[in-house]
Structure 1
Amino acid sequence: MEERAAGAAVGIRVGSPTGRWVILTTVLGSSMAMLDSTVINVALPRIGEDLGTDLAALQWTVNAYMLTLAGLILLGGALGDRFGRRRVFVVGVVWFALASLLCGIAPDAAVLIAARALQGIGGALLTPGSLALIQASFHPDDRARAVGLWSGFGGVGAAVGPFVGGWLVDGPGWRWVFLINLPVAAVCVPVALRHVPESRDPHAHGRFDVLGAALGAFALALVTYALIAAPGRGASPAVIGSAVGGVLLGAAFVQVERRRADPMLPPSVFASRQFTAVNIVTLCVYAALGGYFFLSAIQLQVVAGYSALGAGTALLPTTVLMLLFSARSGELGQRIGPRIPLTVGPVIAATGMLLMLRVGPGSNTVSGYLTDVLPAVAVLGVGLVTLVAPLTATVLASVDTARAGLASGINNAAARAAGLIAVAALPLLAGMGPEAYRDAGEFASTFRRAMPMCAGLLVLGALIAYATVRTPPKGVRDTARPECTVNCGVIAPPLETAPQGAHRAQGQ
């Protein structure tokens, strides 16, 4: 029965009613996770005011979600391959919706943070499954078009996310940033169960690297706690113990992955120097972006005087530029190779971040936006357009086809982990106190110290790319899939799957 379902799925056409339902439900599901990654930043000042929290709680509101998502996203993809992509996707959507409800009714910061961690688990189940369902369901002749539609509609959702989030925060309240997921899930789940065929990887097995996933997640959690707690507690035993514990668990994670027969993160994939180099560049780029978006949304509201809606709208040009021009950037990267885009793009993005230093009191007027904010977000957008699509294509081209899904998952998880650490570390490095976001003057001074750090990370990424990334042979560049380059990867590079028929089991 499973084989008949998988076989039927291969024949779905984009123009058929079933094809349109498949695209709708996968776009809705992935948009839930994407929106809650992008809109939360504009809601942070209002959350802090309403719940009476300090800066550390706001950091955890962002990082609790990123922590579980980054730690479990590879495991989530493997579960879908083994137990059914539709089944795991639906479980993820339901889980995400219930966690969103808990976020929306949270009476205090502790409950909100716990609910955000639960949201990340749901995101780890549904995010890999949305594109995997597209790849597994459509006829080979229509697969590229289906992926392009999924990517394009998802990009629109990411682009308007901060705008919608700001509108909700200023209107019905910040809780609706989470509660909006409930009607989306109410549409997504029945459509998936009725119209999306089930599919599995016939080569996948039931052995999952749960130990590796747990070690990785707990290592990140302990390091994150140490970085966030340090400004308030200093070099206390709890802070030092967490930092040391995180490092030890990280070392244990590496040893476990080296010795397991079926590791979540096979060390052999890093035998490709190109793959390793691009992931180091990814760490630099997305650490900078994670810190930038976290701090800029607060700067615009607390210092410049924007409303939540105004702050979300002010940041919109960055994602709009990515939506409009990422495909062309991917095509250019195919022609000239990745080295130039991955060197030039981060430098341009760093320039945009430095231009954000102009944002301050008075920047919330029309003239202030045109002279202070718009040049910064536009230049940043140009830099991201230049680098994100070639980065994704280079990740896929640096490993064999059978490992494309694994390589993309590693790259996506690395980006999210980098953003997680940046949100935890930047306030500490910039000297932000626990109540900094309540004081415009204090936050502005620390923001001026933080933005050059973010720009420096981008420049470091550019230097690493220039020194290590090599242009693959033209025949290899031509195999990149241009339909996957339409994206708004401001939180993480777009998640790809292996082409249909390629084996993507853990450790394979």
Structure 2
Amino acid sequence: MNAAEGGRRRWVGLVVISLAVSLIIVDSTIVNVAIPSIVKDLGIDSTGVQWVQESYTLVFAALLLVFGTLGDRYGRRLILIVGVAVFALSSIAAASAPSGEILVAARFVQGVGGAMVLPSTLSLINAGFAGSERAVAFAVWGSTIGGMTAVGPLLGGWLTSAYSWRWAFGINIPLGVVIVAGTLLAVRESRDDARRRLDPVGAVLSVVASASLVFALIEGRNYGWWAVDHRPRLGSWEWPGSLSPIPLAFGVALLAILACVLWALAREQRGLGSMFAIELLRIRSFRNGNLAAMIVSLGEFGIILALPIWLQNVLGFTALGTGFILLALALGSFGASGLAGAFSGRVRPIVVVRVGLGAEIVGVAGLGVVIRPDTPWAALVPFLFVYGFGVGLATAQLTGVILTDVPVSASGQASGTQSTSRQIGSALGIAVLGTVLFSSASGLLSSALDSRGIPAAERDGLVSAVVDSSGAAISQLAAAPATAAVAVDAKAAFSEGTRYAAWSAAAFLVVGLAATLSLGGPLVGRSDEVTDEASETHQLLAAPHGVAHDDGGESRRRRP
């Protein structure tokens, strides 16, 4: 195969890899829209609903690091193919599930497949592309993630409305076949030739640490952060005592993390490789980049929880209508990949990250300004587009910055680590912004009902009905003349809660932007680099028709 054919094959392979990312990202969002139909068809209770949504996320986050490391040893393409196959086969079980228990079990297996796919795609890009081509490849990968986060609800709404919720899972089967075939034809195998020894103890500790931490972050608001609010149930067994399981989960996570570190240090002293990337954390860009990615993910994806709830239960849009509105986010994200590619080699990736985060901050804060109980959809679209544009710029290029100094031989382990950082940040964002949304809505609605002179017992019942249903009870309250005024108060309270969640997300993104100041070279004490960076930022914002001014190659020679 000549060089031209090899180059074309790599870019075709990138398309296939992006499809694989689309498969798992869409599935993580498509189910949210299908939940009401699943509840009606299978008759599952609220606990079952939570497990349908969260079983996938829990397993997915827990196994990212393990499969990233296994990909380094046994082959990243091999792990990708097996992951897609597992995902597609478990989708058959999910699509044909006769009960909630079977559906939850299928979702667990889907999480295993997804955890094999995500770090494999990252490490294949890191190993297969270099220089400016790597920046373009990461731009395509990141824009796919940002875009598919918004496309998922649209696709789920259409499939559920036009056909059945089962097609929300069934669509994964033909896509899986296409991805496996494309991977075999267009993606070259890549592995660590050193064949480092496996670390089963480290693998178990990493799974325990990730699973318990993500479980605590996701379920804290539901079960209670300290005293138990709702008791977990498994069949006939019910959680005993008055202490919530969440402090126990945090304690297990802390102990497992400490054990991970101590075990990794012990193996390092004996000259053995470890699951926990101690040696990679000595790389400044990798260490600081993971911290920045975690903070950014906290702000980026937490707001996705609040917006669909508000759009459907306050503004009254259908699931399909909500998907169409969120499509603006996807269009912005996809558009960002073209701009990032145009500036590849002319502007340092970290500058692209900062511009992207700036756009995200503007978009999310703008949403906080315009959100009202009667906001027209046209007022939301421009800010969603700007937010999506920022996600498309920042997500991919931040990944490239994190992995830029990582040896190719450790790409899978590094990809799994940074993916885990993002997942933990996303779970933390859902926990924090969910708490902001529901606590604010609860407090504001209680105050409004108090001002109407509604007795305390009745007030508490109305507040619980609205908040526990995530606002779904508002339409029922509005339909009854006796409670129509309560529905007006509930819409106002949920709108204010969504505004507070948006502003909180913007604040976290500001912190994330500040965290990137530790990346990409020193920014203080060297006025020439400050001037160069300001010039690059000006190029990215102001250059006409996507063409940057050439600086003689200096920015291309500097390491990101």
**TM-score normalised by the shorter chain: which range applies?**
0.7 to 0.9
Q: 1:285-327: CA deviations, max 9, x gaps?
A: 1112221112212221222212222211211222222222235
Indicate the residue corresponding to 2:275 in structure 1: 264
The question of 1:229 aligning with 2:223 is answered: yes
**Counterpart amino acid of 1:294?**
L
**Counterpart amino acid of 1:257?**
A
Q: How far is the alpha carbon of 1:244 from its aligned partner?
A: 2.8
Which consecutive residues of structure 2, in runs of 5 or more, have no partner in the other structure? 232-241, 440-466, 475-489, 533-560
**Counterpart amino acid of 2:6?**
R
**Counterpart amino acid of 1:230?**
G
Q: How far is the alpha carbon of 1:121 from its aligned partner?
A: 0.8
Indicate the residue corresponding to 2:319 in structure 1: 308
Paired residues of 1:39 and 1:165 also in contact (CA < 8 A)? yes
The question of 1:74 aligning with 2:68 is answered: no
Paired residues of 1:55 and 1:437 also in contact (CA < 8 A)? no
Take 2:127 and 2:404, find their aligned partners in 1: how far apart are those partners? 21
Q: How far is the alpha carbon of 1:146 from its aligned partner?
A: 11
Equivalence map 1:78-97=2 (5 Å): 78-97=69-88
Indicate the residue corresponding to 1:217 in structure 2: 210
Indicate the residue corresponding to 1:183 in structure 2: 174
Q: How far is the alpha carbon of 1:338 from its aligned partner?
A: 5.8
Identity percentage of aligned residues: 28
Equivalence map 1:420-459=2 (5 Å): 420-431=427-438, 433-440=467-474, 441=490, 443-459=494-510
Aligned residues: 461
**Counterpart amino acid of 2:79?**
V
Take 1:223 and 1:52, find their aligned partners in 2: how far apart are those partners? 27
Q: How far is the alpha carbon of 1:336 from its aligned partner?
A: 5.2
Q: How far is the alpha carbon of 1:178 from its aligned partner?
A: 1.2
Q: 1:20 to 1:388 in 2, by over 3 A?
A: closer
Q: How far is the alpha carbon of 1:419 from its aligned partner?
A: 0.9
Equivalent of 2:294, from 279, 283, 293? Answer: 283
Equivalence map 1:337-376=2 (5 Å): 337=348, 341-343=352-354, 345-357=356-368, 358-363=370-375, 368-371=376-379, 373-376=380-383
For normalisation by structure 1, the TM-score amounts to 0.75
Paired residues of 1:304 and 1:360 also in contact (CA < 8 A)? no
Q: 1:271 to 1:59 in 2, by over 3 A?
A: farther
Q: 1:168-212: CA deviations, max 9, x gaps?
A: 122213332111111222344456567766554332235144223
**Counterpart amino acid of 2:521?**
T
Take 1:85 and 1:403, find their aligned partners in 2: how far apart are those partners? 11
Q: How far is the alpha carbon of 1:414 from its aligned partner?
A: 0.8
Q: Give secondary structure in 1 for the equivalent of 2:224.
A: helix
Equivalent of 2:28, from 25, 28, 37? Answer: 37
Take 1:450 and 1:330, find their aligned partners in 2: how far apart are those partners? 32
Take 1:456 and 1:194, find their aligned partners in 2: how far apart are those partners? 45
Indicate the residue corresponding to 2:544 in structure 1: none
Q: 1:108 to 1:121 in 2, by over 3 A?
A: same
Paired residues of 2:150 and 2:326 also in contact (CA < 8 A)? no
**Counterpart amino acid of 1:81?**
D
Paired residues of 1:287 and 1:420 also in contact (CA < 8 A)? yes
**Counterpart amino acid of 2:289?**
V
**Counterpart amino acid of 1:306?**
F
Equivalence map 1:151-230=2 (5 Å): 151=141, 154=144, 160-189=151-180, 200-208=191-199, 209-224=202-217, 225-230=219-224
Q: 1:325 to 1:26 in 2, by over 3 A?
A: closer
Take 1:36 and 1:338, find their aligned partners in 2: how far apart are those partners? 29
Q: 1:436 to 1:376 in 2, by over 3 A?
A: same
Q: Give secondary structure in 2 for the equivalent of 1:64.
A: helix
Q: 1:183 to 1:142 in 2, by over 3 A?
A: farther
**Counterpart amino acid of 2:385?**
A
Take 1:449 and 1:269, find their aligned partners in 2: how far apart are those partners? 37
Q: 1:338-368: CA deviations, max 9, x gaps?
A: 66555554344233223334345444xxxx1
Q: 1:254 to 1:426 in 2, by over 3 A?
A: farther
Q: 1:44 to 1:334 in 2, by over 3 A?
A: farther
Q: 1:59 to 1:428 in 2, by over 3 A?
A: farther
Is 428-437 or 94-103 further displaced after alignment?
A: 428-437
Is 306-315 or 64-73 further displaced after alignment?
A: 64-73
Take 2:402 and 2:214, find their aligned partners in 1: how far apart are those partners? 27
The question of 1:388 aligning with 2:395 is answered: yes
Q: How far is the alpha carbon of 1:455 from its aligned partner?
A: 2.0
Paired residues of 1:14 and 1:146 also in contact (CA < 8 A)? no
Q: Give secondary structure in 1 for the equivalent of 2:195.
A: coil
Paired residues of 1:299 and 1:444 also in contact (CA < 8 A)? yes
Take 2:133 and 2:387, find their aligned partners in 1: how far apart are those partners? 32
Take 2:136 and 2:337, find their aligned partners in 1: how far apart are those partners? 17
Equivalent of 2:514, from 424, 439, 463? Answer: 463
